[in-house]
Amino acid sequence: METRHLKYFIAVAEERHFGRAAQRLHMAQPPLSQQIRQLEEQLGTVLLLRTTRKVELTPAGQLLLDRGRRLVEELEALESDVGLVGAGATGVIRAGFTGTATYRLMPVIVAAARRRHPGLRITVQGEMLTPQMEAALEEGRLDVAVLRPPVRSSEVELKFLEQDQLVAALPADSELAEKGMLDIKDLAEQDFIGYPAHSSVNTIFMDACRQAGFQPRMVQEAKETSTLLSLVAAGMGIALVPMTSRMFTFQGVAFRPLRNPPPVDLAVAWNRNNRTPLIDNFLALFDTLPNPAQAAPQSKDSAHEN
């Protein structure tokens, strides 16, 4: 299978339309259709079900789309990394960062790497969820990840960085915002905005609510903390977020502490089977930095983030 065939197929599968896919690929439709037929002949299976109005994926086509996307992403990243090393870089580190660590810790780490290892090139993916980063470490798409435990994979090793706490993020005009400290059980009748169900912070949040005797009423999910807090500011609901969210200033959001708040850890992770001297050098940066909780200024009170 040639890479171009895979890219052609992904375009058709995502567009569900040969004409739109051809426009996206800047080519005529007949040659595109011919390339897809050649791919199906080569693989010995039907990938697409064609009608006059739409294109649907067969189970084999869905498998090729899911895994093909990852292959193309990895090939494109490989091309970029080889180019960087060829241009004089001593190596390339692919790092992922969760939530507020993207804004708070990532700049400190990247700046330290530039000082200590000026030839090192770092490619960063920010605002990622722990399950995404865990899978990327397993599959070799990330070298290092700053994430919130726990992780399930036996291939992923962790080094603890700091412990955070959950706080309540409330619309500034909420009656709850008038209180100095809240019990989680005080929030039982509220609408909640939360991180996706499979995220680590959401798991901790749901466990805390169950221990307080209620099932939270979720009205919206948001992957990015910035989006989550924007929805809180809009009055859609409240959220429980890591205390370090306070470094973000959001007009219309008030942060209030919780009594006996659930802890939320932050750790740096890597794949034990892929550890190299280059990764060791990068991990060593975390030992030489000041306390990450003090690495960036904190905002004062009412309008902050995760």
CATH architecture of 3-75: Orthogonal Bundle (1.10)
Residues 281, 115 contacting (CB under 8 angstroms): no
What is the overall mean pLDDT for the chain?
86
Q: What is the pLDDT of residues 11-41, one digit of tens each?
A: 999 988 888 889 999 999 899 989 999 999 9
Among the listed residues 260, 53, 87, 234, the one whose alpha carbon sits nearest the alpha carbon of residue 166: 260
Q: What is the pLDDT of residues 283-295, one digit of tens each?
A: 998 987 665 444 4
What's the CATH fold of domain 164-263? D-Maltodextrin-Binding Protein; domain 2 (3.40.190)
Asked if residue 186 has pLDDT above 80, the reply is yes
Domain locations in the chain as residue ranges: 3-75, 79-161+265-294, 164-263
Q: How far apart are CA 91 and CA 84, in angstroms?
A: 8
- The pLDDT value recorded for residue 87 is 55
| Rg of the chain over all Cα atoms, to the nearest angstrom | 23
- The pLDDT value recorded for residue 156 is 96
**One fold for both 79-161+265-294 and 164-263?**
yes
Asked if residue 306 has pLDDT above 80, the reply is no
- Across residues 108-116, what is the average pLDDT? 87
Q: What is the pLDDT of residues 220-230, one digit of tens each?
A: 999 888 899 99
pLDDT over 90 percentage in the chain: 45
Q: What is the pLDDT of residues 125-153, one digit of tens each?
A: 988 999 999 999 999 999 999 999 989 99
For residue 218, the cross-strand partners are 192
Residue linked to tokens 């995760």: 306
Query: Rounded to two decimals, what is the model's pTM?
Result: 0.65
CATH 3.40.190.10 fits 79-161+265-294, yes or no: yes
Q: How confident is the model at residue 304 (pLDDT cuts 50, 70, 90)?
A: very low
Q: Which residue has the higher pLDDT, 74 or 185?
A: 185
The sign of the dihedral angle between the CA atoms of 262, 256, 210, 150 is negative
Q: What is the pLDDT of residues 43-63, one digit of tens each?
A: 999 999 887 777 899 999 899
